[in-house]
Amino acid sequence: MGYLEGFAITIRQHRLFGGKQVTTEYSGGRRARKKGTDAREAPGDEKLPRPARLHGRHVLNRYEDGMEKCIGCELCAGVCPANCIYVRGADNDPESPTSPGERFGFVYEINYLRCIHCDMCVEACPTEAITESKLFEFSFTNRDDAIYTKAELVVDDDGAPKKMPWEDWRLGDDVDTSGWMRATSPSGDATFEGAVGWSGELGHGVRDPEPQQAERDKTVRVVER
């Protein structure tokens, strides 16, 4: 589509829907809606059910006692094919440690202008610190917002992801934050099906393993096109 054609569509949308209703600063690119209605209630704006293994916006997990799981080892940064993770570790204060062991993640950033949600960082992490929520609807209007800092990535005191103003969280997006990590631990070997090989998470405890394939197949939802 040529530039002129694109401009014409933009101008037409603004004339039809009153400008800011097309895409407000943090609208997440939602479609235009009638004045006075909440975008989340607008017909056609529902999210489809999310599979437990979906790769969404990351979180940095904490243990059940509140300690951070990240030990600042930088393995996630090393494996990331998009080179979008920046980590710096630091020594724990012996009197008031941030994580168990010697080191913790002092600086942690993910640049979502680069991330391709491959989840190799999740696979590489030795402590299950970095996993992902089911949130995939987050758009930015500036570079600062796109680079998530540790303060934004570390889960809250109830174990839930922190929610940024430009993110479109819906019911359930913040619940199953370690689905992919558990599905591939250890290495997706069927011999270990049903075996728990992961630690507890703040707010969730030790999560159950996925049901066996036969059980999962019963709940597969066919999306008609």
Query: Under the rule (CB under 6 A), what is the footprint of ligand SF4?
Result: 70-76, 80-82, 84-85, 87, 105, 110, 115-121, 124-125, 127, 129-130
Q: Pull the structure tokens for residue 25.
A: 């600063």
105 near 129, Cβ under 8 Å?
A: yes
Q: Which is nearer to ligand SF4, 21 or 115 (CB)?
A: 115
Residue 145 backbone phi and psi in degrees, to 5: -65, -30
Q: Which is nearer to ligand SF4, 118 or 206 (CB)?
A: 118
Q: Which is nearer to ligand SF4, 23 or 148 (CB)?
A: 148
Q: Which is nearer to ligand SF4, 21 or 71 (CB)?
A: 71
154 near 161, Cβ under 8 Å?
A: no
- Which of 42, 223, 47, 59 lies closest to 137 in space, CA to CA? 47
* Chain position carrying tokens 């401009």: 7
Q: Which is nearer to ligand SF4, 54 or 73 (CB)?
A: 73
Question: Minimum Å distance from CB 127 to ligand SF4?
Answer: 5
Question: Minimum Å distance from CB 172 to ligand SF4?
Answer: 21
128 near 199, Cβ under 8 Å?
A: yes
Question: Minimum Å distance from CB 96 to ligand SF4?
Answer: 19
Using DSSP's 3-state secondary structure scheme, residue 2 falls into: coil
Please report, as a single letter, which amino acid is at residue 92: N
Cα dist from 66 to 85, 194, 205, whole Å: 23, 26, 11
The DSSP element (H or E) to which 60 belongs, if any, is: strand 58-60
Q: Which is nearer to ligand SF4, 73 or 168 (CB)?
A: 73
